[in-house]
């Protein structure tokens, strides 16, 4: 049976919980971000029964390298706010609470049989891409957990994407059926279309539907280049399609977007790769029940069944031991 790997986009899940979960501690402190994240993770472990969990965080200044290419990258995003039912803190108090919950959650996860990665100047997306392609995980079944479309480009025979907000599991074939674009060409397609959430403008009048209709070869496994796409537009524009003309004229913009949207290669240094490799080789899962119980009491986390949590996460330790003996 293939090893099952759960790869979690940490901030994507944390912010979802932070916004949605109105939980308060016994002293009235908002704790929905970390508590909701633990509930999500517990449910994922119970349902998917992974042999290994890898959680990837955005490091401080994670967007710095991409911002050096495009200063507008991720600008204009609305701040992540607490659940409106408990929005009784000042703006500065809310920021302090958000950081405290995130830091505390990292501490919780450190006491669990989980691998965590966070590196200064690197976005979680790039770490996830490197992990997904890591030699030690080849042959494993991998499930990436995130609502982010950037991960469509990583889907292959061994990798699916679980999108909690959309309540869907996507594999390579579903992407091709739903969008008419192969994952190998999805970064290119989105470079043409742009990404509003990251403040990356696309080619005017061209959406994913247009891409699928006008460029059916993008549904094939073979990766298409920007030059090949532009050449196709030049050679097949007898009807003076505005979309084709705009793509030819917008080649520079497409190239800039593509550089921003490709995962892994732009941001991971050789030293970071070596560090990730070493952690994979040396990791031994452990579950510190005493510390977790102590932290639950300190933070006033009720409702979440700690015993259920322990049962689910203990299976990761058993799985590791079985792999060591085979």
Domain extent at residue 26: 4-173+264-319
**pLDDT at residue 125, as a whole number:** 94
- Of the CA atoms within 13 Å of residue 4, those in its CB half-sphere come to 14
The enclosing domain of 273 has a CATH number of 3.40.50.1010
- pLDDT tens-digit readout, 116-162: 999 999 999 999 999 999 999 999 999 999 999 999 999 999 999 99
CB 49 within 8 A of CB 113: no
For residue 185, the model assigns a pLDDT of 97
Residues 130 and 162 in one domain: yes
- Residue 257, domain CATH: 1.10.150.20
Q: Are residues 111 and 123 in the same domain?
A: yes
326 falls in which pLDDT band (50, 70, 90)?
A: low
Residue 312 and residue 230 share a domain: no
pLDDT confidence bin for 33, thresholds 50/70/90: very high
Task: Say if residue 157 is in the same domain as residue 234.
Answer: no
69 and 125 both lie in a single domain:
yes
Q: pLDDT, tens digit, for every residue of 74-96? A: 787 777 777 666 767 788 888 89
70 in a domain, yes or no?
A: yes
Q: Do 116 and 89 belong together in one domain?
A: yes
Average pLDDT of the segment spanning 24-49? 91
What is the band of 320 on the pLDDT scale with cuts at 50, 70, 90?
low
Q: Which pLDDT value is given to residue 183?
A: 97
Does residue 324 fall inside a structural domain? no
Helix (H, G, I), strand (E, B) or coil at 123: coil
In a domain, 326, yes or no: no
The whole-angstrom distance between residue 308's C-alpha and the CA centroid of its chain comes to: 26
Where does the pLDDT of residue 325 fall: very low under 50, low under 70, confident under 90, or very high at 90 and above?
A: low
For 54-80, write each residue's pLDDT tens digit. Answer: 999 999 887 877 877 778 877 877 777
Domain count, the chain: 2
Residue 37 sits in the same domain as residue 121: yes
Q: Would you say 186 and 152 are in contact if contact means Cβ atoms under 8 Å apart? A: yes
- Together in a domain, 53 and 164: yes
Residues in the chain: 326
């Amino acid at each position: 049976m293939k090893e099952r790997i759960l790869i979690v986009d940490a901030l994507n899940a944390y912010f979802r919980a932070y916004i949605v979960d109105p939980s308060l501690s016994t002293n009235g402190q908002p704790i929905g971000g970390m508590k909701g994240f633990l509930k999500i993770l517990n449910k994922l472990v119970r349902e998917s029964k992974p042999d290994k969990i890898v959680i990837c965080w955005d490091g401080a200044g994670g967007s710095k390298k991409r911002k050096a290419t495009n200063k507008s990258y991720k600008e204009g995003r609305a701040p992540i706010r607490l659940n409106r039912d408990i929005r009784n803190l000042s703006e500065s108090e809310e920021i302090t609470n958000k950081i405290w919950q995130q830091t505390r959650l990292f501490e919780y996860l450190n006491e669990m049989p989980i691998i965590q990665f966070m590196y200064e100047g690197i976005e979680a997306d790039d770490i996830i891409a490197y992990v997904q392609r890591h030699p030690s995980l080849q042959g494993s079944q991998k499930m990436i957990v995130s609502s982010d479309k950037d991960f469509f480009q990583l889907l292959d025979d061994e990798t699916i994407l679980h999108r909690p907000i959309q309540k869907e599991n996507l594999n390579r074939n579903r992407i091709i059926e739903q969008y008419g674009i192969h994952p190998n060409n999805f970064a290119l397609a989105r470079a043409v279309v742009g990404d509003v959430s990251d403040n990356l403008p696309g080619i005017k009048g061209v959406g994913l539907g247009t891409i699928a209709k006008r460029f059916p070869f993008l549904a094939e496994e073979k990766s298409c280049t920007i030059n090949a796409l532009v050449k196709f537009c030049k050679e097949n524009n007898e009807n003076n399609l505005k979309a084709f003309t705009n793509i030819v004229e917008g080649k520079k913009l497409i190239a800039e977007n593509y550089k921003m949207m490709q995962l892994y290669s732009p941001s991971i240094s050789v030293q970071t790769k070596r560090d990730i490799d070493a952690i994979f080789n040396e990791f031994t899962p452990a579950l510190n029940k005493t510390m977790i119980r102590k932290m639950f009491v300190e933070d006033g986390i009720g409702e979440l069944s700690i015993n259920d949590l322990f049962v689910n996460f203990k299976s990761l330790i058993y799985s590791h031991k079985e792999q060591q003996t085979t």
